[in-house]
A and B are shown apart, each in its own frame.
Chain A
Amino acid sequence: MSEAAKTHSPLLLDMKNICIEGFADERWHPIIKGVDLQLNRGEVLGLIGESGAGKSTLGKAAMGYTQPGCRITAGEIWFDGQDLAQAKTREKRDIWGTRISYVAQSAAASFNPAHRLLEQTIRASKRQGERNDAELRRDAIELFDALNLPEPETIGQRYPHQVSGGQLQRVMTAMAMSSRPDLIIFDEPTTALDVTTQVEVLASIRNIVSQFNTAAIYITHDLAVVAQMADRIKVLRYGEEVEQADTRTMLSDPQEDYTKSLWSVRSLEKPEDASDDVLLSIDNIDAAYGTAKVLHDVSIKLPRGRTVAVVGESGSGKSTTARVITGLLPQSNGTVTFNGKKLPPKLSSRSKEQLRRIQMIYQMADTAMNPRQTVGQIIGRPLEFYLGLRGKDQERRVIELLEMIELDASFYDRLPDELSGGQKQRICIARALAAEPDMIICDEVTSALDQIVQEGILNLLQRLQNEFGIAYLFITHDIATVRAISDEIVVMWQGKVVEQGMKNEILSPPHPAYSQLLLSSVPEMDPDWLNNLLEQRETEGDGVIKAQD
């Protein structure tokens, strides 16, 4: 790049043939295999791919940074005329936080809990030394206001634990914005948020980025989100570029098969099927953690061999309902009836047979499996515990179960950390299946997974239901998942059931106010969705994007 081109070129970032390796198992493995990336000033680039595709690694490499255990082996990273791949750490530190900022997925883990938000927001710009303290503070307050944070004047005086997750994510954006960087890297900034909160954060981020004409790299696995945010989309897989195009072109006319398959996932749908044969019925349940009452008069019916989806944002009492059904949290009022018999409220007073019939699958398959046990031990234990299978019989049955979940005998001796996210979740399904249950409670089982893997898991669950007639209580906040799997829907809000009914009935208008808010907040694969939604809420005046969370 010539000296003259340096400052006037519209190209802000030019990454050429980037190769990055990671160290594992005594060897260096390629993570990024020769990817090019160009970004113009003021442009937003969406970087999408499954986990392990190398999108975060590439995003961080745009700052000339690699995680410990990784190294850049080849390529050039030209940021405004400077090659960050060759720059010394000291030179890069002058750029980090001031000219390039980074917004991490977990805002909660990225703030220092011991300092007030305002101090942390202006810290990097203070180092820059261009403006004085008072100016920076005033500016930060304006940013808080621009990001629709409540009480922008005083919120900076709070500590990180005193604001909600969505607010913290916006403070982090303000922090990134404070130094007026040329480039911001957003690494899955809304993945950990509820859909209703996500809409607000997305709108805030988008406004502020266009307001200051900042270039951004937006990393996510959620296609619908990237469709709202990015001007251009780049798809990564196995550390290589699959394709890139303008957002609209990419959505309407993807070229590669892989991209097409990503796009098709959201269109899964299953016809609903009514049934009156009630397997589980919970009636007028009240439950409390200590003195805090979290469930108020909740009643849900689950028909045999059907799927009931429980939807609602976090804190709505979905998971608590599951805890009451499993007996982990005995209800203070009401009854749980299973197979026509009342279930004892406490876990310890239930019989082994009662326990066997209700199984559970968790959201985070990582923490749901003991990292020190092999797949064979994990699936084998319920076989031994409930059915008394040992030795060769047990091994044979485990392999049968592995084949049922579309894996094979080679997985028998693997440890959980040798499995991909989807495979882990499959093992958890096999463990639940091993007990030969009547019903399985699925607690957000697909929300931590990539879209293609999600599809595989949902298909698997549906196939198992068709074959074995297992009923699912499917807890989720994702409406696409609900469409794909459920027969009936229960909408919960603040510990109460807002609505319960057949899927089509609930998903078609008219909705109660809360269902409306929840359903309309689910991003769609339409680049105009967010604009339309904001416009619509503006005119209706009910959900003006205000930070009430």
Chain B
Amino acid sequence: MTETNQQAAPSAINETSAMRIRRSRFDRLRILLSRAPLTAWFGMIVVTIYMIAAVFAPWLAPYGEAEIFAKADDVYSKEHWLGTDQIGRDVLTRLLFGARNTVGIALGTTLLSFLIGGGLGLIAAIDRGWIDQVFSRGIDVLMAIPSLIFALMLLAIFDSSIIGLILIIGVLDATRVFRLTRSVSLNIVVMDYVEAARLRGENMGWIMTREILPNILPPLIAEFGLRFIFVFLTIAALSFLGMGVQPPTADWGSMVRENARWITYVPYFPFQEAMFYALKPLLPAGCIALLTIAVNFIVDWFLHETSGLRDV
């Protein structure tokens, strides 16, 4: 058009816009951490300790995972800081290996459930047609059955090997991940940039992983933390019922069960010994509770940071 208009229009480069300060990833992390509340710090420290215990269990533990000593049901001593269990294995060693097994299995299971549930959820959200219907109704059926009972039944049919455990709980847990992924994706699928990608001729994989996934990541990560805890509790519960991790593999759920009987005997002991015997089931139970709380603290903080809600 005309020259007069050209000079009247300001250069597009200088239009006002909110420029973010360029920061390295390290700087951003530092700022984020400096704002973290005490609860989040508590959670992060606890989780770090658990990680170290899980990864370095064979080196940290004083004895072997299944090593048996002469004296069973021993109280604490120099050799066995937390005593020995009913067949004479070192309790501290069992707790450390328990961290590795229980946390490891829970992590594997959660990853699997996110892979299945997340993938199917994304496909359903993009399709919104009959595939969505088939998946959603199928998931509804699975969710209609109480999951712990369903898991017990499946574990009874197949064997309760560690792989079997991961597969069964992973699939059952994927139902909830599916629902979440599908519902948050539905808000993204209707965006113009997804339509633009479809018009460009992009395939399903690109739209799923590049256009939608990065935008639904925050709620999914938060959900990952929570699902991890639920899986962890499910495995502990199954082990407590005797269908989970099988001996001699150490695991906190089984340890609670094996030592649960001591609770009933507590009143018959003198006070100091009573405390010790009460501690036997409470120690592994406490380990489960502590991790649960710690992860929840971190998830709460993360949700608060990513939801965009700010206390002003």
What is the interface of chain A, defined by CB distance below 8 A to chain B?
Answer: 23-26, 52, 68-69, 238, 260-261, 264, 268, 270, 326-328, 347, 350, 352, 355, 359-360, 362, 364, 367-373, 381-382, 385-386, 405-408, 410, 414-415, 417-420, 422-423, 426, 431, 435, 452-453, 455-456, 458-459, 462, 484
- Which of chain B's residues has its CB closest to A431's CB? B196
Which residues of B are interface residues toward A (Cβ below 8 A)? Answer: 1, 4-6, 8-13, 15-21, 31, 191-193, 195-196, 198-202, 210-211, 214-215, 310, 312
Residue pair A238, B193 in contact (C-beta under 8 Å): no
Q: Is A385's CB under 8 angstroms from B199's CB?
A: no
Q: Which residues of A contact B192 (CB under 8 A)?
A: 362, 364, 367-368
Given known A-B contacts A270-B1, A360-B196, A385-B200, A459 and B9 have beta carbons under 8 A apart:
yes
CB within 8 Å for A326 and B31 given contacts A69-B312, A268-B1, A419-B17: no
Cβ–Cβ < 8 Å partners of B13 in chain A: 406-408, 410
Q: Do the beta carbons of B199 and A347 come within 8 Å of each other?
A: yes
Shortest CB-to-CB span from B196 to chain A, Å, is: 6
**How many whole Å from A424's CB to the nearest CB in chain B?**
9
Ordered by A's residue number, 14 sampled pairs between the chains whose C-beta atoms are within 8 Å are A69-B310, A260-B8, A264-B4, A268-B5, A359-B199, A368-B191, A370-B210, A370-B214, A372-B215, A385-B201, A385-B202, A423-B12, A435-B200, A453-B15
Of chain B, the residue at the smallest CB distance from A372 is B214
When A and B form their complex, which 6 residue pairs have the shortest distance between CB atoms, in order from nearest? A420-B17, A372-B214, A368-B192, A261-B8, A420-B15, A362-B192
Residue of A whose beta carbon sits closest to that of B12: A406
CA distance A410 to B20 in the complex (A): 13
A23-B215 Cα distance, complex, nearest whole Å:
24
- Give A330 to B16 CA distance when docked, in angstroms: 41
Q: In the bound complex, do residue A368 and residue B1 qualify as a contact, i.e. CB atoms below 8 Å apart? A: no
Can you add 20 more A-B contacts, CB < 8 Å, to A25-B21, A368-B192, A459-B5?
Answer: A52-B16, A68-B312, A260-B8, A264-B4, A268-B1, A328-B195, A347-B199, A355-B199, A355-B201, A362-B192, A373-B214, A381-B200, A414-B19, A417-B18, A418-B18, A422-B15, A426-B12, A453-B15, A456-B9, A459-B9
Cα distance, A68 to B214, chains bound together (Å):
27
CB-based contact A238/B16 at 8 Å: yes
Q: How far is the CB of B294 from chain A (nearest CB, A)?
A: 28
Determine if A418 and B20 form an interchain contact, defined as CB atoms under 8 angstroms apart.
yes
Report the nearest A residue to B309, measured CB to CB.
A68
Nearest A residue to B17 via CB reads: A420
Instruction: Enumerate chain A residues within 8 angstroms of B15, measured Cβ to Cβ.
Output: 420, 422-423, 453
Task: List residues of chain A with CB within 8 A of the CB of B17.
Answer: 418-420, 423
CB distance from A128 to the nearest CB of B (A): 29
From residue B31, how far is it (CB to closest CB) to chain A in Å? Answer: 7
From residue A362, how far is it (CB to closest CB) to chain B in Å? 4
Q: How far is the CB of B26 from chain A (nearest CB, A)?
A: 16
Cβ contacts under 8 Å, B191 to chain A: 367-368
Contact present for A459 and B196 (CB under 8 Å):
no
CA distance A419 to B12 in the complex (A): 10
Instruction: Tell me the minimal C-beta distance from B308 to chain A in angstroms.
Output: 10
- Alpha-carbon gap, A455 to B11, bound state (A): 12
Task: Contact check, B200 vs A355: say whether CB atoms are below 8 A apart.
Answer: yes
User: Which B residues are CB-close (under 8 A) to A270?
Assistant: 1
* Assembly CA distance A369 to B16 (angstroms): 19
